Structure 1
Amino acid sequence: MKFIGIDLGTSSVKLLLMNEAGEILNSVSREYPISFPKPGWSEQNPIDWYNETIKGIKDLIKGVDKASIKGLSFGGQMHGLVILDEKDEVIRPAILWNDGRTIKECEYLNNEIGKDKLSEYTANIAFAGFTAPKILWLKNNEKESYDRIRKIMLPKDYLAYRLTGVFSTDVSDASGMLLFDVKNRKWSKEMLDICGISEDVMPRIFESYEKIGTFKADVADELGLGRDVVVAAGAGDNAAAAVGTGTVGDSKCNISLGTSGTVFISSKEFGVDSKNALHSFAHADGSYHLMGCMLSAASTNSWWMDKILNTKEYGKEQSTIGDDAFGNNHVYFLPYLMGERSPHNDPKARGAFIGMTMDSTRSDMTQAVLEGVAYGLRDCVEVARAQGINIQETYLCGGGAKSELWCKIIANVLNVKVIKPVSEEGPSMGACMLAMVACGVYKNVEEAVTKIVKYSKSYTPDEQIVSRYNERYNEFKMLYPALKDSFATMID
C-alpha cells in the first residue's frame, strides 16, 4: 500500500509518496507565486494551489501501480482566509498567515471584546495572522466580498474540497482561526456572532486522522487513481510536522525552521498560557499543544542570501563561521521582516541590524541573521519555561534544519539537545501517516509514530558556549522594547 502526503506551503506544494513501513518512494515540489500588494500584506491565488497540486500528484505517481495508492492527506499553511461564493468560486485572493493588515481589527478584538473573553471563547487572543481578524477586515474594507461569502475555509481545506467535494477542516487547523472553541473542539458561537457569520458558512470539523471522503469521479479519472482512495482531514502544517517528527503524546517539543519558525509542545491535557504569548491549539493526534510562532525564520536567511548578498551558495557563506564565533558576535539582527507574532504580537515590528562597527564583517552579519532567529525561538521557549514546562531536548525540522551551523547555534542558544529526524519532510510525512491511520494501517497516530519515525543526528549544547549566548540573549531581549515605539511610527 502507498500513501500521498501533501504539504501546502507558502512558496510551494511538496508531495511525498510513502509505503506503510515509512519508506519514501518519491517526492515532488512545485512552486507558485505569492504577492505583496502593500507593505505587510501577503496573498495567494487558491486556484494556483490546486493546479500545482494536481500536476504534482501526476508527477509523483508516474510509473507507480495506481491501484496500490490507498490514501492521501494534507499538512497546510495555517490561518489563511479562503472564501467562496454561491457558485463555489473563489471571491478574492487568499489572505495569508503572514499578512499584517488587520492591526485595527486585532485591537478591536483584544481591547474592546477583551483578551479574557477571547481566551474564554477560543483559548487564544487575536493575532494579526489569524483568520477571524481577516474576516472583520473584509467586513470593514471589502464589504462586497464579505457579503458574497458562502464558504469560509483554510488553504489545505480548499484542496480537500476540490478533490472530494467535502467541505471540511480539522481540529488543529481550525484552532488557528480564532473561531474555534479549542477545549471543546467545536465552533465558537460567540466568535461567529462577533464576526457576523453563521455556522452554515463554516466547514464540518474532523479529527486530523479521520476520513472525510474519497476522490470525486472527475478527479480520480484525471489522476488515474481509484475512486475509493481515502482522503483524511489532515492538519495544520505545524501539527503535521509534529507528527512527522514524533512530537506526539505528552511534553515533547519540536522546532520547525521553515518560512516561519515554531516551537511546538505536545500535551495530553488542555492548557492555556496565562500570558497568551503562546497559542493553545488542538493537536493532530487527538490531544492538544502549545505553540509559539515567529513569522520569519528560514525566510530571513533566504532574504539575506538571495536579496541582499545575491547568492545561492548558502553553505559557502556559512563556512567562514566557526564554533569559536558562537556567543562572540556583537552584531544583532531582529528577524521581524513580516512583523512578529510570539511573544510580541506586533505586526508593526520590523527587521533591524544593530551593533555594527567598522570592523564588522559579512560573516558577522550572516551569523547575526541565524542567531536572531535562534533568539526569537528562545523568546518562545522562555515563555514555556515560565509556565513550568521543562524543555531539555527538541526535534528540529524544516528547510533551515539542513544547516549544521544553525543546528549548533539553536542547541546552544536554547541550551537544549537538538535531535534531527532521518526524514526532513516534516508536514508531508506527517500527512502520509495521518492517511495511514485513516485507512486503518495503524490504530492511532502514536502507533504510526512508533513504527515509522527514526532519528539520525543530535547536537548537544556546550556549557561555555551556552554561558556566552546567555549574555548575548540578555542583550538581544532589550532591543525590541527599545525600538517598539520607533517601529510604530514607520507604518502608514
Structure 2
Amino acid sequence: MSYVIGVDLGTSAVKTVLVDRSGTVVAEHSEAYPLSQPKPGYSEQRPEDWVDKTVLSLRLLMEGNDISPAEVEGLSFSGQMHGLVLVDGEGVVLRPAILWNDTRTTAQCRRIEDTLQEKLLGIARNRALEGFTLPKILWVQEFEPELLDQAALFLLPKDYVRYRLTGQYTMDYSDAAGTLLLDVAGKSWSADILDAFHLPHSFCPPLVESFDECGTLLPEIARQSGLRPETKVFAGGADNACGAIGAGILEEGQTMCSIGTSGVVLSYEERREVDFEGKVHFFNHSERDAYYIMGVTLAAGYSLTWFKDTFAPDVSFDELLSDIGSIPAGSNGLLFTPYIVGERTPHPDAAIRGSFIGMDAGHELPHFARSVLEGITFSLRESIDILRASGKQIDRVISIGGGAKNETWLQMQADVFNAEIVKLESEQGPAMGAAMLAAYGCGWFPSLQDCAREFLRPARAYSPDPEAVQVYDKLFGLYQSVYGATRELGAALSAFRG
C-alpha cells in the first residue's frame, strides 16, 4: 500500500494526516505552538516552533501505526497565508514572523495605495490590507531597517518549514498571490511593485506550482521524523487554496462556504481578466493556470463563540442551538450583524461594529442564537451575490467547517443562498488538500480533478425551501441597510470603547 502525508501549518497548531490511495485518512496528529502578542495589534510566532512541531507531529503520526516509512511516497503542505519570515544569506531567521492577523501596518497600506494607485489592482488584483505581506515588509523597512538590510530573502510560513525540511527555497503561486508582490495574471514577481518600494528582485524566492516537487527530506530531518530521506516533498499551497482542493473546488462553477473562526466563500475561476474592483480577493489557485475568488466574513464562527461565551457560557454549542429549529426564519424580527471585529467583504472596514436590531420583550435565547446564525449567513451571502453579479452561476455550494455541523444551519444556508448545500462524508479541510497535492505530484492520478473524484464523497444535500427563500430575500435587504445606518453611530461610539 502507498500513502501520502498532508501537513497543514495553521496559526495555532500544525496538523498532519496520513492518507491512502482511496483518500481514507488512516492516521492524524496535531501539535500546538504559542502565539506572541507583544503589543496591541501585534501577532508573531517563532518559525523554529513551526519546524520543531512539524517534525514532532510527523514522527508521532508514523509511530501511531504500523505503516512502514517506505510506503510513504511523499508529503505536501497547506500553510497560513501572508506571514512574513525574513532570512539572511545563511538561511537564519532574523526576527519573529509577523502573522496574517497582525494589524500594525495600516500606515503602510495607505503608503502602498498612494504609491501604486490604480496599478495595485491591475497587478496584484487585491487591495492593500493589513494582513498581506508587503505592508509587513514596509513596516520592517521603516522601523527595523538594519534587519531588512541583512535579509537575503522573504518567505511565507510553510515555505520556511519546507526549506528546513529540504534545504530548497521556493514559493508556490497560490501563496505568493497573497503577498501583493505577485503579478497574479502574469504569474511572476512584479518588477513595478518591487522597484516602487526599493526592494531588490533577489528578495523574492523562485516560483513553482503547488504540485511541483521541491526535493526530498534532508537526512537529519528524515531521522527525526521517522520517514525516509527519499520521501518526496511537494510545494503545497495557501490554506484557502488547499481548503478548496480538499472540498473539490477544481472546476468552473464550483463554490464552497467555509465557516470557521472567520467565514469564507470561495469559487473556482478561469477568467484571468475578470475585474471585481477589489471587492473580493482574487488569488492564483493551486490548480495550474486557475484562480479563485474569495469573500471573507471576519467574525463568522467567532460571532457564535462570542455569543455563547457571553450569554450562555454554561451550555454546550449543541444545547445552545437545540431549539433554533422551532424559531421561524427571521427570528421573529430580530436581526444580527456580525461586525464584532470589523468586516472584510464587502465592507473593508476595521471600525464598524456589530448590532442586534429589533429586540423586544418576546425574544428569548433561541431567537438570539438563530439570529446570530442568520446574520453570519447573510454576511456570507454578500460574497455569493458579488460572484453572481460577475456572471457566475452558483446553484450548488459545498459547506465545510463549523457551519456544516448543524443541520438547521445547513438548511439555513440553502435558503439564504438559494442554492443546494452539500455536506461531505469526510472533511479534513486544508490538510486533505495538501495530501491531494502530494498524491497528484506522486503520479497517482492524471489530474487533481481525478484525485478529488476518488478522495471526496458527498454525504447529504440540502435543497432551498421556496417559502424560506422569499422570507430571507426580504430580510436580507434589511440586513444590507444596517451597515450604512450604523457606520457613523459606530464611529461615534468608538470614543467610549476601552
Q: Under a length normalisation based on structure 2, what TM-score does the superposition of the two structures give?
A: 0.92
Q: State the shift of 1:131 in Å.
A: 1.2
State the percentage of identical aligned residues: 38
Q: State the shift of 1:59 in Å.
A: 1.8
Q: State the shift of 1:283 in Å.
A: 0.9
Which of 470, 473, 477 is 2:480 aligned to?
477
Which residue does 2:443 correspond to in 1? 440
Structure 1 gaps of 5+ residues are none
Which of 242, 249, 252 is 2:254 aligned to?
252
Moved more, 150-159 or 183-192: 150-159
Structure 2 distance, partners of 1:407, 1:39, is 36
Alignment of 1:172-321 (within 5 A): 172-286=174-288, 287-306=290-309, 309-311=312-314, 313-321=316-324
Distance verdict in 2 for CA 1:111–1:387, change over 3 Å? farther
Alignment of 1:69-108 (within 5 A): 69-108=72-111
Which residue does 1:10 correspond to in 2? 11
Conserved? CA contact 1:327–1:465, under 8 Å: no
Structure 2 distance, partners of 1:210, 1:323, is 51
Moved more, 279-288 or 142-151: 142-151
Q: State the shift of 1:174 in Å.
A: 0.9
Which residue does 1:113 correspond to in 2? 116
Q: State the shift of 1:87 in Å.
A: 4.5
Structure 2 gaps of 5+ residues are none
Q: State the shift of 1:117 in Å.
A: 0.8
Amino acid at match of 2:33: Y
Q: How many residues align?
A: 491
Distance verdict in 2 for CA 1:369–1:154, change over 3 Å? farther
Which residue does 1:368 correspond to in 2? 371
Alignment of 1:357-396 (within 5 A): 357-396=360-399
Distance verdict in 2 for CA 1:138–1:339, change over 3 Å? farther
Which residue does 1:45 correspond to in 2? 46
Moved more, 383-392 or 32-41: 32-41
Q: State the shift of 1:417 in Å.
A: 0.8
Conserved? CA contact 1:78–1:173, under 8 Å: yes
Q: State the shift of 1:325 in Å.
A: 2.6
Conserved? CA contact 1:100–1:338, under 8 Å: no
Is residue 482 of structure 2 the alignment partner of residue 455 of structure 1? no
Structure 2 distance, partners of 1:430, 1:351, is 34
Q: State the shift of 1:443 in Å.
A: 2.2
Structure 1 residues 184-229: Cα deviation after superposition (integer angstroms, max 9, x where no partner): 1111111222333222222211111111111111100111211111
Which of 334, 343, 347 is 2:346 aligned to?
343
Q: State the shift of 1:265 in Å.
A: 1.0
Secondary structure in structure 1 of the residue aligned to 2:324:
coil
Distance verdict in 2 for CA 1:185–1:4, change over 3 Å? same
Conserved? CA contact 1:273–1:279, under 8 Å: no
Structure 2 distance, partners of 1:308, 1:196, is 51
Structure 1 distance, partners of 2:418, 2:30, is 34
Secondary structure in structure 2 of the residue aligned to 1:246:
coil
Q: State the shift of 1:102 in Å.
A: 2.3
Structure 1 distance, partners of 2:490, 2:277, is 23
Moved more, 17-26 or 303-312: 303-312
Structure 1 residues 267-298: Cα deviation after superposition (integer angstroms, max 9, x where no partner): 23313333211122111111122111222322
Conserved? CA contact 1:265–1:291, under 8 Å: yes
Structure 1 distance, partners of 2:70, 2:86, is 34
Cα RMSD over matched residues?
2.2
Alignment of 1:113-152 (within 5 A): 113-114=116-117, 116-152=118-154
Q: State the shift of 1:129 in Å.
A: 1.3
Structure 1 distance, partners of 2:156, 2:102, is 14
Amino acid at match of 1:59: L
Structure 1 residues 153-176: Cα deviation after superposition (integer angstroms, max 9, x where no partner): 112212211211211111111111
Q: State the shift of 1:454 in Å.
A: 1.1
Which residue does 2:334 correspond to in 1? 331
Which residue does 2:420 correspond to in 1? 417
Distance verdict in 2 for CA 1:71–1:137, change over 3 Å? same
Structure 1 distance, partners of 2:48, 2:311, is 31
Structure 2 distance, partners of 1:169, 1:338, is 31
Conserved? CA contact 1:7–1:76, under 8 Å: yes
